[in-house]
Chain A
Amino acid sequence: MKSSAFAALVLVASSLTSTSLLAADAAQGNAEAARNKTSMCIGCHGIPGYKASFPTVYSVPMISGQSPKYIENALMAYKKGERSHPTMRGIAASLSDQDMADLAAYYGGNASTAAAATK
């Protein structure tokens, strides 16, 4: 109860500000909720050795085990155009702040939590 009251407070506080950074902080990631949102990710990030071929050829980054907040910020940056990869821009544009937080919680974390989450 206390935590939901706090979440509500945070939501109110963030709605009073116009910065997306604060709004992003309000979205609590739920790894379970991400399970039906990963279909867009696995075609590239789920294939060992996969390389993106456009516009430049290089390996797609490993995202599992990455810092969750970094993942969320990266998706945000694609959506805002601060990162330019066309495929990722298209995908990020389709994601809500909550989707991004959920995906960050799903893929991010440390090795032990990632291993536990795959069960």
Chain B
Amino acid sequence: MNSSTLFAGRLMGALLSATAFSPFVSAHAADLSGAKEKAEQVCAACHGKEGNAPVDPSYPRLAGQHQDYLRQALLDYRSDSRKNAIMGAQAKALTKKEVGDLAAYYASMPGQLVVRK
């Protein structure tokens, strides 16, 4: 294997890891400003400013959470494979594009969520 194929392989790997597991997110550039507007109009009422200050302890913090996880959660609410009266209704009101954009927006917000053993 010469260095250029090695490089190509690495590039491919990087591209794959960035996109393969989130085909929808990769299908369009995330509209962060549109998502921000939506987030402030709708989501912030419960999840707080930038998803960092839930108004009730039973609501999750969203800021800084993994983008693909947030997207999956909204899609699961949308399909009722995750059952929650409030989020089911909210998620069904979103298009797939809005789901992807909101996931990208909240993942990009600085937050306190961390990986810990």
Measured CB to CB, the residues of A under 8 A from B are 38, 42, 45-48, 51, 56-70, 73, 77, 82-84, 107, 110-111, 114, 118
* Docked CA distance A65–B21 (Å): 25
B15 CB, min distance to chain A CBs, angstroms:
16
Interface pair A46/B116, CB less than 8 Å apart:
yes
B7 within 8 A of A: no
List chain A residues, Cβ under 8 A from B71.
Answer: 58
For chain B, give the interface size range. Answer: 20 to 34
Bound-state Cα–Cα, A110 to B67, Å:
21
Q: Is the CB of B60 within 8 A of A70?
A: yes
Measured between alpha carbons, how far is A83 from B60 in the docked complex, in Å?
Answer: 15
Q: B100-117 vs A: 1/0 string, CB under 8 Å?
A: 000000000001111111
**Given the complex, which residues of B lie within 8 Å of A57, measured CB to CB?**
21
Known: A67-B58, A70-B60. A58 touches B117 (CB 8 A): no
Task: Name A70's closest neighbour in chain B (CB-CB).
Answer: B60
A63 to B116: give the CA distance in the assembly, Å.
8
> Is A62 a contact of B22 with CB atoms below 8 Å?
no
Which of A65, A67, A83 is close to B114, meaning CB atoms less than 8 Å apart? A65
Instruction: Please name the residue on chain B nearest to A39 by beta carbon.
Output: B117
Task: Assess A62 versus B60: contact at CB under 8 Å? Given A56-B72, A83-B82.
Answer: no
